[in-house]
Chain A
């Protein structure tokens, strides 16, 4: 923690001798956020660990046709050695032949876990992108245009909220197994989990559209599209980033849960949840088959959550107010519930067109 922080300090104000002046000239928004993010110890550790896991997963067994450094692939079935026990040793560090052990047929657990990690992370990222894109589009247009657009879009959002995403995903996964592939599953999960994002973005847009800079842009002759994407959206980036990370962490849990009940990733593919599901019956005889994938889920999810927490602290405009009291105001999950009831109260007015502002 100390090293990135001190690095930061050296990089930004050190070369110029009059330090306060440097501060007055001001840092860009991105710079401030980055600095605050680096101040958050948990978030920095989280992102470092996450990147390490990602590097490990990709480099060990390779990606697609590119081979990795690990000798086994997740498809091979080498002979079972030593009863399939894990050979990983920490003191002295020694990987051995099968560091995470072997399963019943002798497949290398390390390769399988790495493959599962790759798949779970890619599903997580796709879900994040898809859900963020849809949520931003719907939230932004309903928040910006208000009136009928908003009424229709938000009722549509409510409709999606009512469908429990696990249940919907299970139905789709069941009926589309031949359509197949994890990509379809991931995109679908994205299609059911954008609702929270849409509501948050709409809430942000509702306040931002009344600000002077929007009027100024309009006077300058900017089109609606330009105002939305060039003027308002960059101001809402905080909410969007934070929500996307939280969305990703819940996506990875949803995916593993679905795979666990046998409705997510299907047989030739591997995901962490599926590994646990396949091996839970053997818990008493081969516990390592169960521990490793679970550990990787927990680590990935924990990292993403911490990064989200750090981002929230970094983007939170109330940060400054709290700073004075040495109070970082941990608002990790608060805005969503705080916002929603007020939102709905507003909905009551906005549903009747023309009830609010012109």
Chain B
């Protein structure tokens, strides 16, 4: 039990958080673009995911995500037919995402397909998948993109100061990328957390001093950008260790495993063991995300649609606020209130473990412990799991109610 709870949490925290973030994002976007092709496509896909049995997806992932991918890594060259297919699909996806006239969609399709094909040809020619890395150029370009995205989200491009503080954060991040490489080699998990805190503090300072009339906007834009940059730098550092991990005699060039939660007897620095954990987590995480993403998308879409029809949203528009402000500050925040309940329930249910997923991937967590107990007719682990899940269910039920009444003043528990 002592090992099972951390293992389960490790598996489910990332999966649940990612599913929530992506689910809400997709749900909100589809709600804002109701009855577009995108909306219908996402609706259908989320129904499809909703109907998928988790064990079926997991077995498919093991076959295609692990075994076939590892075979592919041996050569790391992508066949031309595959490149064409992926490029066409990516073009189609972008054409659906981009709204507007058929002409605009057509152009998007061609551009997206072309860019994807070029990138894939490049990746294939350089055998990128065997020695992946981002490098300063990709980090810089992605960083600038994040800076623009963050500014659009928090301040609007009109707010030049916010844009500049986000861009300065990108610059600082790039400098840090070169300056910190030797330090990163010797750091551990908590060191990374410390660095992240320092980086966010620096970002806050940048935003604060660039400030202008509305400091919080600049601070937010700078901090989100810095967070993205930190993530990129860490990913890049992990990629630098990829080759060493992959060539390790215990891994034997087949880095994506199908079972277990770590390779026994593997030692190495933080980056190597971190990669080991990640490669073991990636497939179960994907299978959990695929299944739970669907329901979050539906919830947040329904909630957002309801809020967008409210009178106060019309009022906000009527008083001349920009659509960005209306959506992010008036609609989105209120749409999140009912989601708080579901999220609390799900986080509570997380500890009980993903019985099926853990079973398929032989992941030694709570669910697996429980199944072993059942099969061996050993009541102790079964009761233990039942008690733990029962307690968390009660606690999170309570938390959900408290959160709800805190978020929505209309709901009051009479004393």
Verify if A214 is at the interface (C-beta below 8 Å from B): no
Residue among B299, B374, B389, B414 making CB contact with A334, cutoff 8 Å: B299
**A interface footprint on B85-117 (CB within 8 Å = 1, 0 otherwise):** 000000000000000000000000000000000
> Does residue B14 face the partner (Cβ distance < 8 Å to A)?
no
Query: Is there contact, CB below 8 Å, between B341 and A337?
Result: yes
CB 8 Å contact bits of A166-207 with B (1 = contact, 0 = none): 110011001000000000000000000000000000000000
User: With an 8 A cutoff between CB atoms, is B411 at the interface?
Assistant: yes
Residues 155-174 of chain A: 1 if any B CB is under 8 Å from the residue's CB, otherwise 0? 00010011110110011001
* Chain B binder among A78-86, A105-113, A234-242, A257-265: A257-265
Please state if B338 and A338 are interface contacts (CB–CB under 8 Å): yes
Say yes or no: is A354 at the interface (Cβ < 8 Å to chain B). Answer: no
In contact, A260 and B356 (Cβ under 8 angstroms): yes
Residues in A with CB closer than 8 Å to B303 are: 334, 338
Task: With A261-B371, A290-B59 as known contacts, state yes or no: A249 contacts B51, CB within 8 Å.
Answer: yes
Does the CB pair A174–B374 fall under 8 Å?
Answer: yes
Selected interface stretch from A25-33, A58-66, A299-307: A299-307
Beta-carbon contacts of B356-391 to A below 8 Å, as 1s and 0s?
100100000000001100110100001001100110
Whether the pair B393, A162 counts as a contact (CB closer than 8 A) is: yes
Interface residues of A (CB under 8 A from B): 42, 158, 161-164, 166-167, 170-171, 174, 249, 253, 256-257, 260-263, 273, 276-277, 280, 283-284, 290, 294, 297-298, 301-302, 305-306, 309, 322, 325-327, 329-334, 337-338, 340-342, 344-345, 348-349, 355
> Whole-angstrom distance between the alpha carbons of A164 and B393 in the complex?
9
Supply 18 A–B pairs (Cβ within 8 Å), ascending by A: A164-B393, A166-B355, A167-B370, A170-B355, A170-B370, A261-B355, A280-B55, A302-B48, A305-B51, A325-B309, A330-B302, A334-B303, A341-B341, A341-B411, A345-B401, A345-B404, A345-B413, A348-B414
Within the complex, the shortest CB–CB distance from A317 to chain B, in Å, comes to 14
The CA-CA distance from A284 to B303 in the complex, in Å, is 43
Task: Encode B303-315 as 1/0 by CB contact (under 8 A) with A.
Answer: 1011001000000
Q: At the interface, is chain A mostly helix, strand, loop or mixed?
A: helix
CA distance A337 to B301 in the complex (A): 14
Whether A162 touches B305, Cβ cut-off 8 Å, given contacts A337-B341, A345-B412, is no
**CB atoms of B338 and A167 under 8 A apart:** no
B393 touches A344 (CB 8 A): no
The answer to whether A333 and B341 touch (CB under 8 A), given A170-B371, A341-B411, is no
Known: A290-B59, A331-B302, A333-B299. A261 touches B359 (CB 8 A): yes
* Given A306-B47, A333-B302, A334-B303: A298 in contact with B401 (beta carbons within 8 A): no
Q: How far is the CA of A163 from the CA of B394 in the complex (A)?
A: 11
Residues of A within 8 A of B386 (CB): 163, 167
A49 to chain B, nearest CB (A): 12
Q: How far is the CA of A162 from the CA of B359 in the complex (A)?
A: 22
Contact residue among A162, A301, A330 (Cβ-Cβ distance under 8 Å from B390): A162
Q: Known contacts being A337-B338, A340-B341, is A261 close to B405, with CB within 8 Å?
A: no
Nearest 5 pairs between A and B by C-beta? A301-B51, A334-B302, A341-B404, A294-B56, A302-B51
User: Is B219 an interface residue when CB atoms closer than 8 A count as contact?
Assistant: no
The CA of A328 and the CA of B366, in the complex, are separated in Å by 42
Where the two chains meet, the residues of B that have a C-beta atom closer than 8 Å to any C-beta of A are: 34-35, 43-44, 47-48, 50-56, 59, 63, 67, 295, 298-299, 301-303, 305-306, 309, 338-339, 341-342, 345, 349, 352, 355-356, 359, 370-371, 374-375, 377, 382, 385-386, 389-390, 393-394, 397, 400-401, 404-405, 411-414
Name which residue of chain B comes closest to A308, CB basis: B47
Q: Given the complex, which residues of B lie within 8 Å of A164, measured CB to CB?
A: 349, 352, 389, 393
Q: A164-B349, A260-B356 are in contact. List 7 more A-B contacts (CB 8 A).
A: A167-B352, A171-B382, A257-B55, A297-B56, A341-B404, A344-B401, A345-B404
C-alpha gap A67/B389 in the complex (Å): 47
Q: Provide the bound-state CA to CA distance between A297 and B52, in Å.
A: 8
Q: Once the chains are docked, how many angstroms separate the CA of A348 from the CA of B298? A: 29
Closest to A341 in B: B404
Nearest B residue to A272, CB-CB? B53
> In the complex the two chains form, is A174's CB within 8 Å of B56's CB?
no
Closest partner residue, chain A, to B51 (CB atom): A301
CA distance A163 to B388 in the complex (A): 11
Contacts A290-B59, A337-B342 given; does A332 touch B302 at CB 8 Å: yes
Q: Return A148 CB to nearest CB of chain B, in Å.
A: 18
- A332 vs B298: C-alpha distance in the bound complex, in angstroms? 7
**Among candidates A260, A301, A326, residue contacting B55 with C-beta atoms closer than 8 Å:** A260
The answer to whether B43 and A330 touch across the interface, beta carbons within 8 angstroms, is: yes
Kindly list chain B residues whose C-beta atoms are within 8 Å of the C-beta of A327: 34, 305, 309
Q: Chain B CB within 10 Å — which of A297, A302, A325, A341 has the most?
A: A341
A162 touching B394 in the complex, CB below 8 Å, given contacts A297-B56, A309-B47, A341-B411: yes
Q: Are B47's CB and A302's CB within 8 A?
A: yes
